[in-house]
Every structure is written in structure tokens, then in C-alpha cells.
Amino acid sequence: MPPAAKRHCSVILFDLKGQNRLGALQTLLKISSTNFFSRSKDLTKLILLNSDKTENRLNARHGGYEHVNEVTKDVLSYNPKKLHDFVESSGVGEGNWLEGLHVAAANLVDEFEGIKGIITYQLLFITDLGSPLSKVDNGLIDKIARLLDRLGAFLYVVGPEIEPPFTIKTPENIKTWMENLQTNDPNIATIKTLISKIQNGVVCGPKIGTNLFFSYRNSGGSQPWNVPLGIGTNINIPAQTMKILNDIVQCKLVSAQGAIRPSTWIDAEDESIEFDASEVISGVSRHGKFVPVNNKMFQVSSSRSFSVLCFTDAANVPEHLMRGGGCYSVLPNASLEKNDAFNCLIDCLAQQNKYVIARRVYNNNYVPKIVVLVPKPDYNPKCFVLTALPFADDVRLNCKEQKVDLAPKIEENKSVYKLLDGLDTDNENSVKKAPLDIKMVQNVNVQRIVNAAVDKLLDKHINLEETDLDLMELPSGEYMEELKNSWPERKIEEVKKNEEPAADISDDDFDWE
């Protein structure tokens, strides 16, 4: 029986009474469409707060909990069209958002607790927290906190315009931010109290929240590849290989015109005669003779292995060749006493500035790959970084790297360094401020595709913004002006290109008028 699929599971609590209804809907669609178009196996459930209907499990059990509607009775995939239609077709009422959170937390436990393969339990509350509470029920806050911590769940309150005072790089930074959050808003203060009672929680604006929903959660990890590193015929060093980077495209658009259609086999002389695929034999025709060719003839017969081919100077493997698919770490895979050989190999290679060239066969009958292992003695634990190398046929241009010491000496321009410091978000003098580090932000190119696909799916323009445009603009101020003034101004006379004979008429880079 195959292992349970790994997935993140969530409950979404959507506030229908927010002042910026369109912005809240954009947040919902941005998160759901990212999952939907990346073919995610994640599951969710939608609950509407401040609805004109009251249908929820806590109301059925205990009464109260008015105007909270479990609009999706069962869990479902992140289908943006379904979620969009649920929200748009619902009327507005007047409910208690703290009670809504209790209903959502109870749903998270009832629907997903005990299911194997769940990586992260998530409760997403999309609201501007504009509805005041008649009173703050601390007992209810404790109940919500216990339910969330029972699963180790993550709480995201997305909508209030709250930004961090520094760049968020790790989950620990989020905890520090929440602990030091200052506010005069009673609703945000109540949320802060709830977050202080649970393991994982954040309250933030929409742009930050849509990114943190995917980056501030448990990591799915990867299955280690437990094959020893072989040297010769008698030495096998216990090792496990784990993926660091993945080059798989998360989602992409495919033209309907280029879609692959089922093949139909017809007679070459009479197109009205069709053949079943089982009657067709692949082959080649040479010199009037048909030679059957079976696909099994091209399969590689090789066993799962990981063996050293040679050791070489680092200079023989320039960085531009280390661009193979994926990036891996090769770690020790034995007890501390038995890892001495692995650690010794890394230390010796690093001291001599040498790399390992190895042959890797991922599984039986897989195509072998030639890989390079770069020793990293300063990492904890010590390990190799592995990436695939190209074969000679793959290299289009032979590029030879030169030593940095041979570069021409130029006069240092301090204005350039001041400008670069002004662009460094970690620098106190930076003119640019980024709320999230690059590791906490989604792929902008993927988001651009997703945004276009949502417009197509819903047949209307939603305008899901994929980047903070102000971060893309050139900086202004004294650093930029100082850099401009560091070069003397030159006056360039207008150059007019005269029309040449017929040979140059094809050049359409110029306007002849």
C-alpha cells in the first residue's frame, strides 16, 4: 500500500463584512489559485463569517454562534471558481468574529485530525477586524488556543494593514515581531493575546499574508536517497542524499492548439481503413525490408548505484558547468563513530581544493548521471553539495574562467558602494525596505501565470498583484545624484544614419522618415 500523500490542510474563515470586500476576495483567490494551478493536493474548507445564514456545528450542538456559515459541508480542493461563487452569492449579517474563529478551529480538528500525511494544519482568517466585539471572552480565547495547539496549527489573520519593522527572514523573526507588536486597536490586541497563547500565529496585511501562507508553515521535507558512496570495489561509505533545490516548474500555461491529441492509425494507401493501436508494430524500413524496433531495445540496464569515478582539481569544474537539474546535499548516514571516513574524505578534499566526480543511478534501469561533489567542511554536519554535470554534447560554448587577480585594476568609486548599500535592505541606510526576505516570498513568475489564468477561469479581470512595484523602481536621493555626478557630463551630437544601398535596406532597426 503506497504511503499517504503529503499535504497541507486548512480551514478558511472569510469575513463578509469587511470594508475592503474586493481586497479580501483578491486575497482568497490569490491563495486558492496558487494551489489550484500548481496541481496541489492540499485540501481546505470555507466558512463565512457575518453571513445572513447560521449553519455550523457549534450552533447545532450548543446554540449561539450566530451568522457563521459552514458553506462547504465537506473538504474540497482549492478551486478558486467555487470559492469565489460561494462568497459572491452570500448575504451579509452581523456575527462575532471570536465565535467564528472557534467554529473554524473546531472544524480544523474535526475534519483533519488523525489523517495521515498532513504536513501543516492552517487556519486562515481573512478580515480587516473592523467589527468590534461587545466584550472580550478570555475563556473563548483559551478554547481556540487549545484547539489550535492540539494540532500544532498555524493561524494567519490576513487583512489589517500591519507590516514588520524589519525584514522577516525566518519563522523566529515572526515570533519576535508578534511579541513586540504595539497597537491601540482593541481587536488587534485581542488577536495578539490569542497568538501569544499558541505556537504559531501572525496578523498582517494582505500582501505579506498571501506569501506567509506558503512560506510560514511546516516543511514537507524530502525522502532521503540511502545509497552508500562507493570507492573502487571494496569501499562503501554510508551516505544519504537529500534534495536542496528543485528545478521543477510549478505551473505553466499550455496552448490549446498545441495539446496532444490521441493518435489514429490508418492505411497508407486507403485512409478510410483504421487500425487498432495493438495491431501497430514500430520499426524502420531500410532497403525494402521492414525491421521491427521495440522500445525495450533503448532501455538502460543499470542497477541503483553511487560510485566515485575520480578526484579532480576544483579548477577543472568551473561553476558554469554546475547547472544541472536539481541540487542535493550528500550527508553522513551512520553512527557518529562510523562517520569518520566520510568526514575525513571531506576534510582531505577541501584541504587539497579537489572535487569528486561520481556516477549516480537513481534507481534500477534509470539513465546514469555524472555528478560533481563539492566538499563543505564548514557545514554542520559536514557534507558534499551535489549537482549534475553536462556531457560533452550538451556544452554549446566552451567558456574558460579567468582568475580574479588578472582583472584590470580600476579606480574605486565610492559612490557605487554607497548606492549598493542604499539598495541593501539589511543596511540601516537602505532607501528600500522589504518586509519579507526572498526565502519567504513566492515565485513572481509563477504568480504572473496564475494571475492571468484566474482572469481566464473567472472570465473577468481580478487584478491580482504579483509584486510590490515600488521595490522595482530605481532609487532616488543623494546616493543616486552623487553617482550621476561622479562621471563627467558628455554632450553627444545627434547622429543621423544615411540610407545605404540595397544591402542595408533590410535593417529595420532605424526609422528612415
Q: Say how many CA atoms lie within 13 Å of 5 toward its Cβ.
A: 7
Q: Distance between alpha carbon 55 and the CA centroid of its chain, in Å?
A: 36
- Non-local (6+) Cβ contacts of 245 within 8 A are 326, 327
Whether residues 40 and 146 share a domain: the answer is: yes
Amino acid at 90: S
DSSP conformation letters of 236-268: EE-EEEEEEE----S-----GGGPPPPP-EE-S
Q: Is residue 258 pLDDT above 80, yes or no? A: no
Whether residues 179 and 275 share a domain: the answer is: no
How confident is residue 294, by pLDDT bands cut at 50, 70 and 90? confident
Q: Quick: pLDDT tens for 72-120.
A: 888 888 999 999 999 999 899 999 999 999 999 999 999 999 888 899 9
Return the CA Rg of the chain: 30
Nearest to 342 by CA among 388, 385, 384, 386: 384
Supply 264's cell numbers: 489514429
Q: Distance between alpha carbon 289 and the CA centroid of its chain, in Å?
A: 53
Q: Looking at residues 60-73, what average pLDDT do you find?
A: 90
Whether residues 282 and 314 share a domain: the answer is: no
Nearest to 353 by CA among 296, 398, 405, 313: 313
Cis amide linkage into residue 381, ω under 30° from 0? yes
3-class secondary-structure state, position 351 = helix
Q: What is the Cα–Cα distance from 344 to 339, expressed in whole angstroms?
A: 9
Q: Say how many CA atoms lie within 13 Å of 218 toward its Cβ.
A: 19
Residue 253 lies in a domain: no
Whether residues 353 and 433 share a domain: the answer is: no
Q: What is the Cα–Cα distance from 372 to 386, expressed in whole angstroms?
A: 6
CA dist 233 → 20, 79, 182, 346, 367 (Å): 69, 54, 65, 20, 21
Q: Looking at residues 159-187, what average pLDDT do you find?
A: 93
Q: Is residue 371 pLDDT above 90, yes or no? A: yes
Give the largest Cα separation in the chain, rounded.
92
Q: Which residue has the higher pLDDT, 503 or 373?
A: 373
Q: Looking at residues 399-427, what average pLDDT do you find?
A: 76
Instruction: Kindly report the CATH number assigned to the domain that includes residue 169.
Output: 3.40.50.410
Which segments within 94-136 are labelled E, that is strand?
A: 118-126
Supply 483's cell numbers: 553617482
Amino acid at 210: T
Whether residues 98 and 202 share a domain: the answer is: yes
Q: Quick: pLDDT tens for 485-501.
A: 777 777 777 766 666 55
Whether residues 150 and 45 share a domain: the answer is: yes
Q: Per DSSP, what are the bridge partners of residue 27?
A: none
Q: Is residue 298 pLDDT above 80, yes or no? A: no
Q: Per DSSP, what are the bridge partners of residue 312?
A: 355
Q: Is residue 375 pLDDT above 70, yes or no? A: yes
Residue 222 lies in a domain: no
Whether residues 290 and 381 share a domain: the answer is: no
CA dihedral 446, 452, 458, 460 (to 10 degrees): 150
Q: Looking at residues 148-167, what average pLDDT do you find?
A: 93
Whether residues 48 and 143 share a domain: the answer is: yes
Q: Is residue 247 pLDDT above 70, yes or no? A: no
| CB neighbourhood size of 88 (10 A) | 9
Strands 305-313 and 354-361: antiparallel
Residue 111 lies in a domain: yes
Q: Which residue has the higher pLDDT, 155 or 64?
A: 155
Which pLDDT score is estimated for 260?
A: 57
Whether residues 19 and 151 share a domain: the answer is: yes
Amino acid at 208: I
Residue 508 lies in a domain: no
Q: Is residue 312 pLDDT above 50, yes or no? A: yes
Q: Is residue 376 pLDDT above 90, yes or no? A: yes
The rounded mean pLDDT for the chain is 84
Q: To the nearest whole percent, how much of the chain has pLDDT over 90?
A: 41
Residue 78 near residue 35 (C-beta atoms within 8 A): yes
Q: Which residue has the cell 494551478?
A: 37
Q: Which residue has the higher pLDDT, 426 or 364?
A: 364
Segment (H or E) for 193? helix 186-196
Q: What is the Cα–Cα distance from 87 to 15, expressed in whole angstroms?
A: 9
Which pLDDT score is estimated for 220?
A: 74
Q: Distance between alpha carbon 228 and the CA centroid of its chain, in Å?
A: 30
Whether residues 158 and 71 share a domain: the answer is: yes
Q: Which residue has the higher pLDDT, 156 or 334?
A: 156
Which pLDDT score is estimated for 358?
A: 95
Residue 94 lies in a domain: yes
Q: Is residue 407 pLDDT above 90, yes or no? A: no
Query: Is residue 41 left, alpha or beta, with left meaning phi > 0 and alpha meaning psi from -120 to 50?
Result: alpha
How confident is residue 374, by pLDDT bands cut at 50, 70 and 90? very high
How confident is residue 49, by pLDDT bands cut at 50, 70 and 90? very high
Q: Per DSSP, what are the bridge partners of residue 286?
A: 289
Q: What is the Cα–Cα distance from 111 to 412, expressed in whole angstroms?
A: 63
Residue 383 lies in a domain: yes
Strands 239-245 and 265-266: unpaired
Supply 156's cell numbers: 494567519
Q: Per DSSP, what are the bridge partners of residue 242?
A: 329
When divided into structural domains, the chain yields a total of 4
Q: Is residue 504 pLDDT above 90, yes or no? A: no
Range of the structural domain that residue 285 is part of? 265-298
Whether residues 175 and 108 share a domain: the answer is: yes
Q: Looking at residues 316-336, what average pLDDT do you find?
A: 81
Instruction: Kindly report the CATH number assigned to the domain that includes residue 384.
Output: 2.40.290.10
Q: Which string of b and e fits 282-317 if b means at least 16 CB within 10 Å?
A: eeeeeeeeeeeeeeeeeeeeeeeebbbeeeeebeeb
Whether residues 270 and 368 share a domain: the answer is: no
- Non-local (6+) Cβ contacts of 106 within 8 A are 57, 58, 147
Which pLDDT score is estimated for 106?
A: 95
CA dist 290 → 263, 273, 282, 424 (Å): 22, 21, 10, 67
Q: Quick: pLDDT tens for 137-154.
A: 899 999 999 999 999 999
CA dist 245 → 213, 407, 504 (Å): 20, 32, 48
The DSSP output letter for 168 is: B
The pTM (predicted TM-score) of the whole model is 0.76
Q: Quick: pLDDT tens for 23-48.
A: 899 999 999 998 888 878 899 999 99
119-123, 165-169, 396-400, 447-451, range with greatest mean pLDDT? 119-123
Nearest to 122 by CA among 154, 146, 151, 148: 154
Which pLDDT score is estimated for 3?
A: 60
Residue 87 lies in a domain: yes
CA dist 224 → 172, 212, 236 (Å): 26, 27, 17
Which pLDDT score is estimated for 512?
A: 45
User: Which class for 191: exposed (0-12), middle (13-18), buried (19 or more C-beta within 10 A)?
Assistant: buried
Which pLDDT score is estimated for 214?
A: 93
Residue 345 lies in a domain: yes
Supply 207's cell numbers: 500582501
